[in-house]
Structure 1
Amino acid sequence: MTEEIIIAGFGGQGVLSMGKILAYSGVMQDQEVTWFPSYGPEMRGGTANVSVIISDERISSPILHEFDTAIILNQQSLDKFEEQVKPGGVLLYDPNGIVHPPTRKDINIYKVEGARLAAEMGNPKTFNMIVMGAYLKVKPIFGMEKVKKGLEKSLPERHHKLIPLNLEAIEVGQKNMETVHTV
């Protein structure tokens, strides 16, 4: 099993954190992992993306041009990465701020209203975990125990008190993921 993922959005949306948690979850599952971030100098508000590869085999390069899954959090990223999803792959997006939704018919498209759900939870910082929960519903590559260990490993110890809230947000995302189109 090899899963090649791109997560893209604005800086401050938790793009890099989501990638790091997925990467650590893979490590906790004894898999080979790469985590390759890319962001502009402006950080918050600028575009950010991270590619994550999780595999049972050695990974030859962290650089990708096509993805099994694209997790998209803004229109700029949708415009840039929609065409780079492999046919039959997955595109998961948050419709908040998306003016032109995905149009491809040869990929599986899902959405989750992460921004709205995070606001309803009373904590906008849970946004990325809601989106990650939707992803794990579509592609259950890790059990929740591995995700919890990934959270413990990626969060500084002073933030471990937030792990239950993050796990709750993941469950909210799993319950609220919507199918838009499947092939």
Structure 2
Amino acid sequence: MTEEIIIAGFGGQGVLSMGKILAYSGIMQNQEVSWMPSYGPEMRGGTANVTVILSDERISSPYLKLFDTAIILNQQSMDKFEDTVKPGGILIYDPNGISVHPSRTDIEIFQVEATKLAAEMGNKKIFNMIILGGFLKEKPIVKLENVIEGLKKSLSERYHYLIPLNEEAINKGMSSIIPYKAKEKVIQ
């Protein structure tokens, strides 16, 4: 099993953290792992993405042009990465702030209203864990207990009191992901 993932959005949305948690989770399951972040100098508010590869076999290169899964958190990332999902792959996105929804019909598309759910849960910083939960519902490539261990490794110890809230957010994402049917393009 090899899963090649791109996670993309604005800096500050937890893009790199989500990738790091997935990577730690894979390590704890004795998988081969690659975590390759990419972000602009503006970091918070600028675009950021991370490529994560989890595999049972050696990873030959961390550089990819096509992905099994794309997790998209803003319109710029949708514009850039929708076409990089392999046919038969999946695209997961938060519709908040997306003006041009995905249009491909050769992939599975899912929505998680993570912005709205995080606000309802009273902490917008758990947005990324809601998205991660949705992803894990559709692609359970790592065990939840390893994700929690990954959280412990990636969060500073002074924030460990937030782990139960993050676990609740992951579960909320798992129960809130819904399929999205792309509309057929009208040919004129």
TM-score, structure 2 as length reference: 0.95
Deviation at 1:164, TM superposition (A): 0.6
Deviation at 1:181, TM superposition (A): 3.4
SS of alignment partner, residue 16 of structure 1: helix
How far, CA to CA, are the matches of 1:161 and 1:60 in structure 2?
A: 38
State the structure with more CA Rg: 2
- Across the aligned residues of Structure 1 and Structure 2, the Cα RMSD in angstroms comes to 0.9
- Is there any run of 5+ residues in structure 1 with no aligned partner, and where? none
How far, CA to CA, are the matches of 1:151 and 1:96 in structure 2?
A: 25
- Aligned counterpart, 2:5: 5
Deviation at 1:160, TM superposition (A): 1.1
Tell me how many residue pairs correspond in the alignment.
182
1:23-59 per-residue CA deviation (whole Å, 9 max, x = no partner) reads 0000011100000000000111100000000000000
2:113 pairs with 1:113: yes
1:127-158 per-residue CA deviation (whole Å, 9 max, x = no partner) reads 00000000000101112111111111111111
2:76 pairs with 1:60: no
Give % identity: 70
2:170 pairs with 1:174: no
Deviation at 1:5, TM superposition (A): 0.2
How far, CA to CA, are the matches of 1:58 and 1:153 in structure 2?
A: 23
Q: Which runs of 4+ in 1 moved over 6 A?
A: none
How far, CA to CA, are the matches of 1:104 and 1:50 in structure 2?
A: 22
Amino acid aligned to 1:59: I
- Aligned counterpart, 1:102: 102
- Aligned counterpart, 1:163: 163
2:41 pairs with 1:48: no
